[in-house]
Amino acid sequence: MSYCINPVCSQPKNPPQADICQTCGEQLLLHERYRVLKPLSRGKFGATFLAQDHSLPNHPLCVIKQLRPATTESRILEMAEVLFEREA
């Protein structure tokens, strides 16, 4: 399965070799390198996903962390970025 990480995508599950999300049109191969396979967890400021690195032999598994703050208030965004970096 390929998983779309667009936060507003209503149906993020896609066929394994899909390059574009069938629901929202988002690119599924991130930076022409990472294919997200499934979500792992979600917190206040972000989400983590299991992925494969297609730029390396045997496509090893890796984890991708995405910053997803619930607000656009600058003070909150700064705090979210600091916490996000600390956890990464």
Query: What domains can you pick out in the chain, each with its CATH number?
Result: 2-87 (3.30.200)
User: Of 34, 68, 28, 27, which is closest to residue 51 (Cα–Cα)?
Assistant: 34
The whole model's pTM is what? Answer: 0.81
Structure confidence by residue, pLDDT tens digits, 55-77: 999 999 999 998 876 767 778 77
Strand partners, 41: 48
Q: Let me know if 11 is exposed, middle or buried by CB neighbors in 10 A (0-12, 13-18, 19+).
A: exposed
Give the pLDDT band (50/70/90) at residue 13. very high
Structure confidence by residue, pLDDT tens digits, 26-49: 999 999 999 999 999 987 778 899
Distances from the Cα of 24 to the Cα of 33, 39, 69, 70, angstroms: 20, 17, 21, 20
What is the model's pLDDT at position 12?
A: 98
C-alpha Rg value of the chain to the nearest Å: 14
